[in-house]
């Protein structure tokens, strides 16, 4: 019973680590994506300003 509990806890711990890592990966991907879209938006504004002037 104790062995099963320790294996079970380790399994839950591994799942928690995986969830935590994936959460961090998703956060970093989202920040990168927002940064890229921000850059694209600014370059688009620059093109509009340069073409208008």
Q: Where are the domains of the chain?
A: 21-53
Q: How far is CA 16 from the centre of its chain?
A: 16
Prediction pTM value: 0.46
How many angstroms separate the CA atoms of 44 and 18, rounded?
A: 38
Q: Which two tokens stand for residue 24?
A: 């961090």
Q: What is the pLDDT along the chain (53 residues), one digit of tens a residue?
A: 566 768 788 899 999 999 999 999 999 999 988 888 888 888 888 877 777 76
């Amino acid at each position: 019973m104790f062995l099963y509990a320790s294996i079970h806890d380790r399994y839950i711990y591994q799942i928690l680590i995986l969830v935590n890592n994936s959460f961090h990966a998703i956060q970093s991907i989202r920040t990168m994506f927002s940064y890229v879209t921000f850059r694209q938006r600014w370059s688009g504004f620059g093109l509009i300003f340069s073409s208008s002037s």
